[in-house]
Amino acid sequence: MEMSQRGRKILVPAAFLPLIVSACTPEPITSQGEQVSDLYTIFSVIAAVIFVVVAGLIGWSLIRYRAKPGDDELPPQFHTNLKLEITWFAIPQVIVIGLFIATAFVLVDVNEEADDPAVTVDVEAFQWGWRFGYSGTDVTIIGIPQDPAEIVLPVNEPITFVLNSDDVVHAFYIPKFLNKRDVIPGKENRFSVTIQEEGTYQGFCAEFCGLLHDRMPFTVQAVSSASFESWLEGQGDDDGDS
């Protein structure tokens, strides 16, 4: 009786592992981020089930086969159980192949560039700030440590970011996108997202790039298409100064 209660004390919290793990992931606000988040959840649930089964079996065999008073000899020893060995080889293979396929599908989807993005933002990173150019307009928003950039983007429309660096390697990171891309001098990186929720989201440089690396935050404000259009027009009137 005491054994099963103790077992339950360990196994019940273990069942909450996926919740604990997924709590570490920011709530995604893009359709691509949602796919990544779902993938995390699948991994977490499978990992939690494996943990519970393995820990449970170890616990059970420790208790069930423990030495009892008067047990002076080793229990019968045996080796080779082909069926069992094939089973415990096959199960992890199936799980890993399944996770690999699921990951490949998500990666292909997430990396797919929008055919006809509503907005293309040319992002240039430099020591230490960002230059955001709205392609097809002369609107440019520049952020420096004393005055971080605030950019505005529409929701429910595909947006493509084109990343370039003036100097060293930086990384473009908006945690709520669940997406982080290196910004490499001489190599253009591109990705597309569709933001699904209006709001203000913080962005960072996520690659140590020198003294003021930590002073490169920027803000993304996601608004309705109509608000975005009028904001963009307003920026044009100001000669694109932020």
Chain positions contacting Cu ion, by CB under 5 A: 170, 205, 209, 216
- Name the minimum Å distance from CB 182 to Cu ion: 10
Q: Which is nearer to Cu ion, 56 or 148 (CB)?
A: 148
**Cα(176)–Cα(163) distance, integer angstroms:** 18
- Name the minimum Å distance from CB 213 to Cu ion: 5
Q: Which is nearer to Cu ion, 209 or 223 (CB)?
A: 209
Q: Which is nearer to Cu ion, 25 or 219 (CB)?
A: 219
- Name the minimum Å distance from CB 162 to Cu ion: 17
Q: Which is nearer to Cu ion, 112 or 188 (CB)?
A: 188
Rg (CA), the chain: 26
- Name the minimum Å distance from CB 121 to Cu ion: 17
User: Kindly report the CA angle at 221 between 107 and 185, in degrees rounded to 5?
Assistant: 55
- Name the minimum Å distance from CB 170 to Cu ion: 3
- Name the minimum Å distance from CB 216 to Cu ion: 5
Crossing angle of the two packed helices 31-64 and 82-111, in degrees rounded to 10: 160
CA distances from 99 to 5, 106, 175 (A): 34, 11, 23
Provide the 10 A C-beta neighbour count for residue 71.
10
**Cα(102)–Cα(202) distance, integer angstroms:** 29
**Cα(220)–Cα(231) distance, integer angstroms:** 13
Q: Which is nearer to Cu ion, 110 or 174 (CB)?
A: 174
Q: Which two tokens stand for residue 22?
A: 């997924």
- By DSSP bridging, strand 150-154 and strand 218-223 are parallel
In sequence order, the β-bridge partners of residue 163 are 123, 189
Q: Which two tokens stand for residue 34?
A: 């949602």
Q: Which is nearer to Cu ion, 119 or 183 (CB)?
A: 183
